[in-house]
Amino acid sequence: MMNFELNENQAMIAQMIKDFGAKEITPFRKDWDDKQHFPIEVFKKLGELGLMGVLVPTEYGGSGFGYFEYVTAILELSKLDPSVGLSMAAHNSLCTGHIMMFGNEEQKRKYLPKLATCEFLGAWGLTEPNTGSDAGNMRTVAVEDGDYYVINGAKNFITHGVSGDVAVVIARTGEVGDSHGMTAFVIERGTPGFKGGRKEDKLGMRASETAEMIFEDCRVHKSQILGEIGDGFIQSMKILDGGRISIAALSLGIAEGALEESIQYSKERQQFNQPISRFQGISFKLADMATQVEAAKLLTFKAADLKNRGQKVTLAGAKAKLFASEVCVSVSNEAVQIFGGYGFTKDYPVEKYYRDSKLCTIGEGTSEIQKLVISREILK
């Protein structure tokens, strides 16, 4: 039976984030955005609250929650500042999630406790300058040399590419175009030949660090391989299935935040001697926005439910990510319209939701790639 109410853990997490955010996020988010400052200290505190290892089992130092709690955490953080929600999601679902899903016992015990507390901040390297959606044609190569692999190449658009303490990196160990010719490695910051590169100057999500990772004759021991040699790309596709639920949750948080701000403003803003919420031009916008947000929430939590039950989420995750990301752009756009001229200023948060929202239709698979995934699944 479907239950649409928050469970006890979800309610606790939501309230904890609201309380934390009022002190640690909301007062500083504009300054972070203006200066493109990555507030690493906030993520250390989130680690203390158990939010950097939401899905990590308690035996490895994590919170041991499921995807309902995870989606709720991302959603609530993203209402406060989408940049914080994005970095938290990338740390949890990509780097930490990859080690949790494909690491051996020694690797899990070595890295998961530090990732779960944010003693280590995680990064995940798949995208390259010449390969975005076409990840199978990556040019970063790993050449076997005795007990090591020597890695050369570069990754870009990497969340925490400079500040990350440990990264899961996918490199080519076989032929170009061979989906079984890529391997996943865990590489720690400080490994000779591994460094951060240029930090991107972005339209939105400016407090979430996005940068290059560069590898120059970087020697990585074979003990740092995740799973089997040649399985890196296949592993990555499975990681992205879950990661798309994260982006759907991020999108949902942005959309809910923009909707809540719009409702409040429409009740307070007076024109023609009455609140603008009394005009159908505004109230009908709010009705459409609320309906879209609710539909996105249902798709997102359906995907989370399937993930909790260990079922395949390729289709459900892609649907949730596609719809929620497009909704968050649409709702944020309408929020700016409702605020009018004030929506175009930084005195109100809706312009930031508007700028931040666009990434959700691009990161972890564009909307066009989601449609490709969905169409392939339904036409099997």
Separation between Cα atoms, residue 80 and residue 338, nearest integer Å: 20
C-alpha to C-alpha distance for 90 and 208, rounded to whole angstroms = 10
Q: Is the dihedral of CA 29, 297, 127, 352 positive or negative?
A: negative
Cα angle 149-182-233, degrees, rounded to a multiple of 5:
140
The question of whether 364 is a catalytic residue gets the answer: yes
- Say how far residue 28 (Cα) sits from the centre of its chain: 21
Written in H, E and C, the secondary structure of 145-196 is ECCEEEEEEEEEEEECCCCCCEEEEEEECCCCCCCCCEEEEEEECCCCCEEE
Q: How far apart are CA 117 and CA 51, in angstroms?
A: 8
Catalytic residue among 8, 105, 364, 368: 364
Angle at 273 between CA 270 and CA 269, to 5 degrees: 5
The number of C-alpha atoms within 13 Å of 330 and in the hemisphere containing its C-beta is 16
Residue type at 163? S
Active site residues: 364
